Amino acid sequence: MQFARGAWKILVAIKDGLALILLLLFFAGLYALLSARPNIAAINEGALLLNLEGVVVEEPAAPDITAFLTGGNRGTVREYRLRDIVRAIDASADDDRVKAVVLDLSLFMGGGQSSLSSIGDALDRAKKAGKPVYAFANFYSDDSYQLAAHADQVWMDPMGGIVFAGPGGSRLYYKNLIDQLGVTAHVYRVGTYKSAVEPYLRADQSPEAKEASNALYSVLWDNWLTDVKKARPTADLEPYAKDPAGFIQAAGGDYAKIAKDQKLVDIVGDRVAFGRFVAEKTGTDKLQTPDSFKAIKYDNYVAANPPATNGSPIGIVTVAGTIVSGEEGPGTAASGRIAKQIYKALEEDELKALVVRIDSPGGSAFASEEIRLALNDVKKAKIPVVISMGDVAASGGYWIAAAGDHILAEPETITGSIGVFAVLPSFEKALAKWGVTADGVQTTPLSGQPDFIGGFNDDLNGILQAGVEHNYADFIDLVGKARGKTSEQVNRIGQGRVWDGGTARQLGLIDGFGGIDAAMAEAAKRAKLKDGEYHAKYLDAPASFGWLPFGGIPFVQEKPARINSIAGWAAQQQRVTFNRALVTMENLLSAQDAQALCLECAGTVPARNANHNLSDLLKLYSISSAPR
C-alpha cells in the first residue's frame, strides 16, 4: 500500500506539472497573439515599408493555434496575400502620411510571374501619384528584381550580386529508383502531353513534354524581359543573362561592378547607407537602427486600409492551391468548403455577380466538378459568373473555369493542361526479393483487388484506365460546351498540354486579358452596375485570427535564410528542388481519385516551404510504402 500511495503521488505530481506547462503555454500564446495584433494608431508619417520576408500567394494558409502552441509552425515561411500588398500600395498613393514606398527584398522568396506584375503595376501607380519608390537587397534574382525594377532607385549591398536564371530546369525522375526498390507504378492517363506521370514511367523527359515546356518557358521568359525592360529601360539585361559566367569572369568575380556597368542597380551601398538615404527623404526614426528612417509597418497599414464597402456587393470566391475534397482551410482548395461559401452567398440573395479567382494547378477531378456544379447553380439563378485566373489555372483549375460566363487571365498565366491521370503503387516485386508472395481464391475478377501485395490484375487495370478515359471525355465535353467548340477541337488543344495566357487566348480557352479589377468590371457590366456602384465582397471564410490580415502567425514562422551571394542563391535553389520533389510525391500518393493536376506547373511558382529535410523524405517514403 505504501508503494501504491507513493506511485499515486508521483502520477499526481506529473499531472499537475503538465497542466501547469499547458497553462503557461496557453497564456504565452495568448500574449503573443495580442502583441502581434496590428496597431492602426501607430501609423505616422514616413515610408511604407514592404519588408517582404517570404512568398506572395493568392490565399495564405490558415493559422493553426495548435501548431503554434506546439511549435509545429516552425520551418514554414510567411505568406503575403497578393491583394493586401496591392491594396496597401494603392492606398499609399493618396495618403499624405506616406512619403515613399520602400522595398526590402533581402528575404523575399518570390511569387508567381503575373502576381509580381500586378505588384509592379501598383508601384507604377504610386510613382505616378508622386510617391518615390526605393528598393534594397543584398542579392537579387528573377523575382526580387522584377519588383525592384519598378523602383526610382535600386540599391544593392557591395558584397551582394545579381543573377537571372529564367524559367525552366530539371525535374526529378524516379523510374530507376522505383525499379531498384521493386515498386510497380500503375499509371492510368489520357493526354500525349500529360507529363505529370512521366517521372514514374521514364528516366528522362519525353520529346512531347520538352516541346510543350520549351514553348511555355520561352514565352514566360520573353514576358519577364518585357516587363523588366518597360519598368527599367536603362538596364542591359539580356547580355548578362545569356552569358553570366563570361561577365563574372571578366569582372574578376566583382558582382557589384557588373550590376553597375549593366545599369542593373543605381547605388552600391550597404543597409546602413540605404537607411540614411531614405531618412533624408522621409525623416529619421527616434530609435536609431541601421534602418533609421521613419517607417510605416506593412501589417498596420493593411489593417488601416480595409477594402471598400460602398455600393452593391460582387462576390469573390478564391480557389487557391491543390484542389481536394473536404473542408480543409485556406491555402488548399477544398471543394466542400468552397462550395459552401458559394451556396451561402447564393442563399443571402444580395450578390449581383460572382468573380471566381483561380490560382491552382488542379487536383481531384471529383472535387473540381463539385465546385463547377456549385457555380452552375449560381448561373441558374441569373447571376453572372466571371473567372479571374492568377498565376496558374490549369487542369482541375481550368475544369472549374469552364463554368464561367467570361474568362480573364494574364499573358503570364499558365492554363490548359486538359488531361486526367491516376497513379497507384503496388509492391509485389519488392516483397518477392524477400521471399514474400501472395496467393488465394477469387469469387469475382475484382476479389482482393487492388492487390498491393500480389499485383493488379488485367481486369482492374482495364477498369481504372476506362474510368480515366471517361473522366477525360467529360472534361473535353464540358470545355467544348462552355467555349463553343466540339469535343474534337478541345481534344486537339487538350491532351494535357500547358499553355501561356497569350496562346490560350488565341486558342479560345480564355476571352481576354486582365486581373481581378478587370474581372470585377466585367462582372459589374454584366450585372448592369456602373462604375462606383459596386464593391468586392470576399466570400473566403475568415482566418482563425481574423484580425491578422496576412493569414499567418509571424512570431512562430521562421524567416527564410538571407541570400547574400550567388552561393547562397544556389543553396536555396537546392532546397526548393528537394521540396518540390517531396510535394510532388505526396500529392500523387495521397490522391483519392482520378487527378486533373498540372504538376509541371510547380516549377513556375515559388515553393511555399523550402525547409524540408531528410526526415520528411523518410516519413513520405513510409507513407508511400503502406498499402492504400
| Active-site residue list | 194, 395
Give helix 113-128 / helix 207-231 axis angle, nearest 10°: 10
Taking residue 624's Cβ as centre, other Cβ atoms within 10 Å add up to 18
Name beta bridge partners: 320. 359
Contact indicator for 158, 183 with CB cutoff of 8 Å:
no
> CB 164: neighbour CB atoms within 10 A?
20
Q: Is the peptide bond before 199 cis (omega within 30 degrees of 0)?
A: no
Cβ count near 19 (within 10 Å): 10
Beta strands per DSSP E along 379-515? 385-394, 406-409, 414-416, 420-426, 498-500, 512-513
**Rounded distance, CA 413 to CA 390, Å?**
6
The three-state secondary structure class of 467 is helix
Q: Are 103 and 151 in contact (CB under 8 A)?
A: yes
Residue 265 half-sphere exposure toward CB, CA atoms < 13 A: 27
Residue type, 329: G
105 CB neighbour count, 10 Å cutoff: 26
Report the Cα–Cα distance between both ends of the chain, in Å, rounded: 50
CA distance linking residue 116 with residue 427, whole number of Å: 44
Q: Determine the Cα–Cα distance for residues 413 and 416; give it in Å rounded to an integer.
A: 10
The 3-state secondary structure of 87-132, one letter per residue: HHHHHHHCCCCEEEEEEECCCCCECCHHHHHHHHHHHHHHHHCCCC
CA distance 205 to 168: 13
User: How many angstroms separate the CA atoms of 335 and 171, rounded?
Assistant: 29
Residue with cell string 468548403: 337
The helix/strand/coil state of 500 is strand
Q: Angle 566-589/614-624 helices, nearest 10 degrees?
A: 20
The strand pairing partners of 309, in sequence order, are none
Other CB atoms closer than 10 Å to residue 580's CB: what's the count? 18
Return the closest-CA partner of residue 322 out of 76, 606, 597: 597
> For 226-270, where are the E strands, in sequence order?
267-268
Distance, CA of 342 to CA of 350 (rounded, Å): 12
